[in-house]
Structure 1
């Protein structure tokens, strides 16, 4: 593990760098998660169960600055110091190391959502015969206890390939929802970190629903989020004298008597034609309920019929759920293959949860993709594209007679576009605002003098743009903009003449009695109130409508 060979870093350094990166990520994104670092195959041992050749470096705890600093020390210390502090041993038992991990989970007082062991090694055959049987038995015990094991294997020193079939093929248990492809051993830090990040989070379903084909034919699927907006953590309010976290309590009071109201004391109301319609909570629940959660197939359409303008929100992802209905994976795979073969999308009615309105969705098939190291890049399944309803479309009227671009201008713009084409992937662009926030927080937590510089990948490369198309952009500006135009200069808009609303052709009393006051504009309502000297509680539209309604009551 400590031999570098021809590589820049030894396998041990790769593991430590990877663990440090994951802890830093957890501090930012999932600071409630618990992590531990355990060395095995050491001469010295430090654990609660007297397991031989096992050393608990960091016990199961929330990630923090101390853990990061301790791991950084491993990267800067001399390897000889590791031999003196921990030692190396070839007489270890992998079964004991896994048993220790199980006991660490058992001794945790907090409730754990899922338990996972990431095993970093470049030893493809640590045991044979009896020790191998003990390891297989222990892995089965861990699997029954809900503890999964992920192998993060690396190449041996000198570039010798890690042989997965020599030991771990018989030992590890692959879940039904995991890829059956075994990734190639990692040789670089980026490969290892990418593999860890993929396995770092357990796949959590947004919901598990049935997929009905009509009649009695149905299967079970899980709904997942592939993309979610990443935001800064919310600010926590503290008491300034003791720095204790304060609790916010919201209460609702009756305006006239200042009586505190409980949820059961309140109703919800909606105004319809100047009449207040009140609803009980049970009535609201019945109004919201359309259908039981599930996906119902309506039919199929060619993939080309799906337009870009139909995209109204981030897509979700469907994957079969064998735990609910046996045979779902087989039926799901058959549907996926046929949709890919015929290049069609499935149009469905989708109800995600109870009391949620149904949505029309298009299920776009996706075939599984693997990179050159046999690591899954894209899973097989269906993207759930949410479609707009007829009520969501807007009929926009564009002005006629506006200036049109000439053929010469269009050709020049096309040439600029061709020159500035580049390979783009959103996965390679981090949010600069988030990065700036977290590097400052990290610098304060680790007592560093100044934060690290961030790489703003969303910033345009002005030098490259000028080199590729600077001359074309200048020519295009001369062709499009008039002489004397200064880019960035603000143009003063002519002051619009204030037109007094005309009330002569409007029968306000008739509009009030017909309940059409909300359709009138605020200037018209204000002018009527001012002309007739009607007392009004405010200047908002609702106040004006109420004042006019009371005037004709």
Structure 2
């Protein structure tokens, strides 16, 4: 039974309030009504001796009760998941057990079911959960018949050392399926030969992250707009239709006109009947799968198990549907047999990849992939084929002469030894770096451009004003410096740089002349701005206005505390010293100074 709930679109103020609740634990606990005993207790690795378990259930009951009162109707079926490594938090106290049972009964009345996830301790990983000490009475509310108690606990309790059990395992699988959504790149056909083929689905494993394109909206309704394009002839002024348009391409100094259909034909690399994967043969895996040939991201190929349903309810439609199901079953069986035999013999399949109409035909390898499951039996890596593209001969830069006749003859013995030492230093440097996952993983590092874009977009959407670039840079760099915290990394990097480019290497000399000139001008402008800020601060300090303006909190600048009459020029000098906008009326400049002082004091208090 499902209860649909209509959810409103959250405003910027509500999202900002949620951010404050997530960042401030004391405010969050006060909002949720969690008692102080729960806030001050240490939940890992064990509960404190003076901690009462019913306080957790009491806090959950207050939360669900407040949601029910806000909605004006009872709460729908909800789950309260408790993570623990202690099978008896009451320490044998019957009073605490009775209090916990009472809170569990109240939660059941509100429609909340309690589930338990038990973590086995490192000191006794083979000892399972003993539910008879505490949790059996709490989960059953003390009134369930003993003959159904095992089935009930199997549904409500998950011991992480067991394989998946009952409904909780399916609940966890559904959560994982929602987190890892599979999006098919395209559907095509795998031709084996003699008119035999298999419908397959190709999945893209890695996709480049990019900033989304902007969408033009109408100002009043925020609805997407539609663009209409019209063309006129410059000579006659006649309005042109799509059929009147030609596309000119210059060839041998002559402008050749083409229609849209002719251009589509030129871009088409393969006819429609030749699209797909076409098998050419088999080869040993070690013979063709080379690391140096890996120039593109592999894709995943899996049989298409979907059945196309045709409209109709008669006997002909049912017969056609049954024939379609039989065809899909036979193709899946053929795909499975081919996969298992290639996996058994350690071979790969050589195919011609023409999956798209406008893509360049390229030879590729179908590499069988082993299925992998985790400790609970959930599938982590599915069985199927990896589609690995092979390069052409033109994709490599092959020297005209042998390496022994060109390179080694021009490199002296000292330089050769220095290069060997630089290679050893590079290997030592990579092995010394402390990566978060034990080895380099691109998922451990964020893209600065995309991260900065979404941070600014979030700040503007939540009506927070301009985003601070220093905070974004600090957040980005913090994840990058984690691999540089290992000892001797900086020293090894300096030694490798000295061996590779020398001590007198200037990186700016590698830039183009225009780029180098632009960099020098930007540095000069930055130095001039810094000098102007320092001179403005020194001048204000001589006049005795620096500390007064730094402590200014209201617009009364001519009060008793002012050392002299403050003019607009003095306020603009203070703004220049802090890099703030200087133009505008006196009241506007004064308001910027007050905001600057307020934000600085808040930062110092934090």
Q: TM-score, normalised by structure 2?
A: 0.49
Deviation at residue 433 of structure 1 after TM alignment: 2.5
Query: Is 1:459 aligned with 2:480?
Result: yes
Query: Is 1:81 aligned with 2:62?
Result: yes
1:319 to 299, 302, 317: 302
The unaligned stretches of length 5 or more in structure 2 are: 22-27, 34-58, 83-113, 121-128, 132-138, 140-147, 156-162, 308-327, 514-606
Kept after mapping to 1: 8 A contact 2:173/2:378:
no
Aligned counterparts of 2:492 and 2:173: Cα–Cα separation in 1:
40
Query: Is 1:299 aligned with 2:281?
Result: yes
The alignment's C-alpha RMSD in Å is 4.9
Query: What residue in structure 1 maps to residue 271 of structure 2?
Result: 290
Q: SS where residue 345 of structure 1 aligns? A: strand
Deviation at residue 321 of structure 1 after TM alignment: 1.1
- Residue 429 to residue 461, structure 1, CA distance change in 2 (3 Å): closer
Query: Is 1:364 aligned with 2:384?
Result: no
Q: How many pairs are equivalent?
A: 370
Q: Which has the larger radius of gyration?
A: 2
**How do residues 517-532 of structure 1 correspond to structure 2 at under 5 angstroms?**
none
Aligned counterparts of 2:481 and 2:281: Cα–Cα separation in 1:
44
Aligned counterparts of 2:115 and 2:16: Cα–Cα separation in 1:
25
1:435 to 444, 451, 457: 451
- Residue 167 to residue 250, structure 1, CA distance change in 2 (3 Å): farther
Cα deviation, 1:112-149, whole Å, max 9, x if unaligned, reads xxxxxxx96659xxxxxxxxxxxxxxxxxxxxxxxxxx
**How do residues 28-47 of structure 1 correspond to structure 2 at under 5 angstroms?**
none
Kept after mapping to 2: 8 A contact 1:183/1:375:
no
Kept after mapping to 2: 8 A contact 1:416/1:469:
no
Deviation at residue 380 of structure 1 after TM alignment: 1.7
Q: SS where residue 406 of structure 1 aligns? A: helix
- Residue 252 to residue 455, structure 1, CA distance change in 2 (3 Å): same
Deviation at residue 71 of structure 1 after TM alignment: 6.6
Deviation at residue 250 of structure 1 after TM alignment: 3.3
Query: What residue in structure 1 maps to residue 538 of structure 2?
Result: none
1:330 to 333, 344, 356: 333
- Residue 491 to residue 226, structure 1, CA distance change in 2 (3 Å): closer
Aligned counterparts of 1:312 and 1:370: Cα–Cα separation in 2:
29
**How do residues 152-231 of structure 1 correspond to structure 2 at under 5 angstroms?**
155-156=116-117, 166=151, 196=175, 198-200=177-179, 202-231=181-210
Aligned counterparts of 1:300 and 1:168: Cα–Cα separation in 2:
52
Query: What residue in structure 2 maps to residue 410 of structure 1?
Result: 420
- Residue 470 to residue 380, structure 1, CA distance change in 2 (3 Å): same
- Residue 87 to residue 275, structure 1, CA distance change in 2 (3 Å): closer
Aligned counterparts of 1:83 and 1:313: Cα–Cα separation in 2:
51
- Residue 222 to residue 266, structure 1, CA distance change in 2 (3 Å): same
Query: What residue in structure 1 maps to residue 601 of structure 2?
Result: none
Deviation at residue 429 of structure 1 after TM alignment: 2.6
- Residue 493 to residue 295, structure 1, CA distance change in 2 (3 Å): closer
Kept after mapping to 1: 8 A contact 2:218/2:225:
yes
Q: Which is helix-richer, 1 or 2? A: 2
Q: Which runs of 4+ in 1 moved over 6 A?
A: 61-64, 69-75, 167-170, 183-187, 192-195, 239-244, 449-452, 491-494
- Which segment is superposed worse, 484-493 or 247-256? 484-493
- Residue 67 to residue 197, structure 1, CA distance change in 2 (3 Å): farther
Kept after mapping to 2: 8 A contact 1:69/1:446:
yes
Q: TM-score, normalised by structure 1?
A: 0.53
- Residue 228 to residue 468, structure 1, CA distance change in 2 (3 Å): same
Deviation at residue 262 of structure 1 after TM alignment: 2.2
Aligned counterparts of 1:60 and 1:241: Cα–Cα separation in 2:
23
Deviation at residue 77 of structure 1 after TM alignment: 1.1
Kept after mapping to 1: 8 A contact 2:190/2:276:
yes
Query: What residue in structure 2 maps to residue 426 of structure 1?
Result: 442
Cα deviation, 1:357-415, whole Å, max 9, x if unaligned, reads 53322112211222344443322221222233445555466975654642254135314
Aligned counterparts of 1:480 and 1:213: Cα–Cα separation in 2:
51
Query: What residue in structure 2 maps to residue 341 of structure 1?
Result: 344
Deviation at residue 87 of structure 1 after TM alignment: 6.2
- Residue 315 to residue 64, structure 1, CA distance change in 2 (3 Å): farther
- Residue 443 to residue 385, structure 1, CA distance change in 2 (3 Å): same
- Residue 120 to residue 425, structure 1, CA distance change in 2 (3 Å): farther
**How do residues 45-60 of structure 1 correspond to structure 2 at under 5 angstroms?**
56=5, 59=6
Kept after mapping to 1: 8 A contact 2:12/2:463:
no
- Residue 166 to residue 184, structure 1, CA distance change in 2 (3 Å): closer
Aligned counterparts of 1:185 and 1:320: Cα–Cα separation in 2:
29
- Residue 169 to residue 218, structure 1, CA distance change in 2 (3 Å): farther
- Residue 409 to residue 280, structure 1, CA distance change in 2 (3 Å): closer
Aligned counterparts of 1:373 and 1:67: Cα–Cα separation in 2:
39
Kept after mapping to 2: 8 A contact 1:430/1:457:
no
Deviation at residue 241 of structure 1 after TM alignment: 9.1
Aligned counterparts of 1:286 and 1:55: Cα–Cα separation in 2:
50
Q: SS where residue 420 of structure 1 aligns? A: helix
Deviation at residue 271 of structure 1 after TM alignment: 4.3
- Residue 317 to residue 415, structure 1, CA distance change in 2 (3 Å): same
Deviation at residue 222 of structure 1 after TM alignment: 0.6
- Which segment is superposed worse, 365-374 or 206-215? 365-374
Aligned counterparts of 1:83 and 1:270: Cα–Cα separation in 2:
68
